[in-house]
Amino acid sequence: MSEILLFVIAAVCAFLFSGINPAIIMSKLIYHRDIREEGSKNPGFTNFKRVFGSRYAWFVFALDILKSVIFCAVFGALFGRYYGDYQLGVAFTGFFAMLGHCFPVWYQLKGGKGFLVYVGMIWMLDWRVGFAATAVFALVLFTIRYMSLASMILAVVSPIFLAIAGVDSNMVIFLCALSSVLMIARHHANIRRLLNHTESRFSMRSKNESRP
């Protein structure tokens, strides 16, 4: 398989399939409403949980991570087999999975923020980095209780932890950092709310538990 062809296939598959959004699908199928018209209008886990409650929100959580993990694992293995660089395959595929999730062709390029897709990529790159970054995320989330801030901090520390852990190619760190920038940029509305002290705090128990 030619190197260019593998890059193209990885990018196209990750972009298209990661654009399939569980929050949008489940909000329509189960509640007959569109999550993009509810709450913060973001089609992601946090807004889904706030609007509809916890009952199905964790399925959204799992599916968003899973779609990243599957494609990163498959193309990471292919890159490792043909070019001896598993991490490059994961980082490259993860970046395009994030692009697909954030700008899905299926939903007029209006998607989520890519946090869970990013988490899946980080864990597939290096489980030690995934564990350390997730620990920092959990510490911030359960002390300050701002999901957006915890997510952005995870995006900042992940490339740093990856550099400390060591990679086979600097391109891996570059792609990880690029994914971090994308995710932070997608939180622009949250950044404004944080600065204005109007950002909602995260709670494991939802106040609103809508039923289908």
| pLDDT band for position 1 (cuts 50, 70, 90) | low
Over residues 68-93, the pLDDT tens digits come to 999 999 999 999 998 889 999 999 99
In a domain, 11, yes or no: yes
Over residues 126-142, the pLDDT tens digits come to 999 999 999 999 999 99
- pLDDT value of residue 212: 40
The residue range of the domain holding 144 is 3-195
Average pLDDT over residues 194-204: 87
Give yes or no for a contact between 93 and 118, defined as CB atoms under 8 angstroms apart: no
In a domain, 12, yes or no: yes
In a domain, 211, yes or no: no
- pLDDT value of residue 190: 92
Kindly report the pTM of this predicted structure. Answer: 0.90
In a domain, 83, yes or no: yes
Give yes or no for a contact between 115 and 148, defined as CB atoms under 8 angstroms apart: no
In a domain, 212, yes or no: no
> Comparing C-alpha atoms, which of 185, 190, 125 is closest to residue 161?
125
In a domain, 79, yes or no: yes
In a domain, 202, yes or no: no
Query: Helix, strand, or coil here: 33?
Result: coil
Q: At what angle do helices 57-83 and 22-31 cross, to 10 degrees?
A: 150
Look up residue 38 and give its DSSP letter.
S
Dist CA 88 CA 110 (whole Å): 27
Dist CA 106 CA 100 (whole Å): 9
Q: How many domains does the chain have?
A: 1
Q: For 91-122, b where at least 16 C-beta lie within 10 A, e where not — what string? A: bbbbbbbbbbbbbbeebeeebbbbbbbbbbbb
